[in-house]
Structure 1
Amino acid sequence: MSGLMRGANVALTKEIPGLRTLVVGTAWDAGGEHALDDNLVLAAILCGPDGRATSAEDFVFFQQVVSSDLSVAAVDAALGDDTEQLEIDLDQVPAAVERIVVVLYLSEGGPRRRTLGQLRRCVVRVLDGATGAGIVTSEDLAPGFGPETAVVLGEVYRHRGGWKFKVVGQGYAAGIVGVAEQYGLPL
């Protein structure tokens, strides 16, 4: 079965009426490169109608594991095949939040430069948080990576009274700093 390609989307709440909780996860293969594997971080940015974060509290990652409104949380121990996961309570997402951007980035400052281009495999998945059933899996995004140290994997966004998920796969050579600039996130 092939995965959802970059740019493709799925109407989550249309496919599963009554969907309340999502788990967005990612799985990667660093090919035995432990320093690369250990320094990858899954994060989320909650964005308003202008596509930008309103404050640093809109960034969920390993040092801030829950959004201030409690709608998005990092999962302590990823389940299934995922390496890391985020849980999104759609009912708790404030009306002012139009989209939740899911990011994977390298958080290292070491002398040896590592990039996402070293990954052998990278997919993003969306699961029904109540049942654990898979809703969508992306194509392998790793072949499209090069010198980037951060990538927007996908977006959960509002659409006509419901929620959709879009596979993005957009890399940033400037890393999390480039992502932060794009989404107005103060770091």
Structure 2
Amino acid sequence: MKEMKRGANVTLTREIPDLRGVVLGVQYNAGMEQVLADNIVVAAILCRGDGDALSDRHFVYFNQLASPDLSVQQLRDVMGEDQDQIEVDLLAAPAEVSRIVIVMYVNEGTAARRTLGRLKSCVIRVLNLDGNAELIRSENLAPVLNLETGLALGELYRHSGGWKFKVLGDGYANGVTALAADYGIRL
């Protein structure tokens, strides 16, 4: 297992040539902030080379549990310590997908005044789909969060015929609205 800092990346398929799929797990601790914990949404965005989502249907979250091609799916039954997990079939990802970004945001409504700055911890993990061995764990991304209501956690991206993973940790002040604008998604 490698613990990675913000901005660090690793070549997954070079280190594991037979890697066919991964599970991206998100762990967070909101402490006593149950309303915050209940309103955190984890999602995946399948992007083209220009950074925009292929389409609005390539935003995988609780109301759209899979990408149109089924290469990326939100898991309903989470295993282990993760609060959310997204499964990615690396071989089935369409050729036009150059990166898959994992994001989280505070859903509006009852949690409108909550921020991710209240999190005690927030980690993204990469697990091998074959056997669920943990390959990568990010550093705790929570300590630098303040008023953010959206966060790009990490991304899988194509590189030299294979796949790499990068820890992002980029915060957004306007939650899902800002994330959608950044990735060209119409809400």
- TM-score bracket for this pair, using the shorter chain length: over 0.9
For residues 111 and 49 of structure 1, the distance between their equivalents in structure 2, rounded to whole angstroms, comes to 34
What residue number does 1:24 align with?
Answer: 24
| TM-score between both structures, scaled by the size of structure 2 | 0.97
Q: Deviations over 1:116-159 (max 9, x none)?
A: 00000000000000110010000000001110001000000000
RMSD of the alignment, in Å? 1.2
With the length of structure 1 as denominator, give the TM-score of the two structures: 0.97
State the AA in 1 paired with 2:93.
V
Deviation of 1:104 after TM superposition, in Å, equals 0.8
What pairs up with 1:41-120 in 2 under 5 angstroms?
41-110=41-110, 113-120=113-120
Query: How many Å separate the matches in 1 of 2:3 and 2:102?
Result: 17
Q: Contact (CA 8 Å) 2:20, 2:89: kept in 1 or not?
A: yes
Q: Which amino acid aligns with 1:42?
A: V
Secondary structure in 1 aligned to 2:4?
coil
- Look up the SS of the partner of 1:3 in the other structure: strand
Q: Does 1:125 align with 2:125?
A: yes
What does residue 7 of structure 1 align with? Answer: 7
Q: Structure 1 residues 111 and 163, CA, compared in 2 at 3 Å: closer, same or farther?
A: closer
**2:174 aligned residue:** 174
The residue that corresponds to 1:164 in the other structure is: 164
- Aligned residues: percent identity? 52
Q: Residue 32 of structure 1: CA displacement?
A: 1.8
> Structure 1: where are the runs of 5+ without partners?
none
Aligned mates of 2:118, 2:85 — CA distance in 1: 21
Equivalent position of 1:139 in the other structure: 139
Cα contact 1:2–1:139 (8 A) shared by 2: no
Structure 2: tracts of 5 or more residues without a match: none
Deviation at 1:168, TM superposition (A): 0.1
Tell me how far 1:112 sits from its aligned partner. 5.2
Matched residue pairs, number? 187
The alpha carbon displacement at 1:111 in A equals 7.0
Q: Distance in 2 between matches of 1:82 and 1:44?
A: 15
Q: Give the distance between the partners of 2:110 and 2:79, measured in 1 at CA.
A: 30
Measured at CA, do residues 171 and 13 of structure 1 come closer, stay the same or move farther in structure 2, by a change above 3 Å? same
Q: Quick check: 1:48–1:54 contact (8 Å CA) kept in 2?
A: yes
Which letter maps to 1:177? Answer: T
- Would you say the 8 A contact 2:41–2:106 is kept in 1? yes
Q: Deviations over 1:74-100 (max 9, x none)?
A: 011211111110000001100000000
Provide closer, same or farther for how the CA distance between residues 100 and 112 of structure 1 changes in structure 2, counting only shifts above 3 A: closer
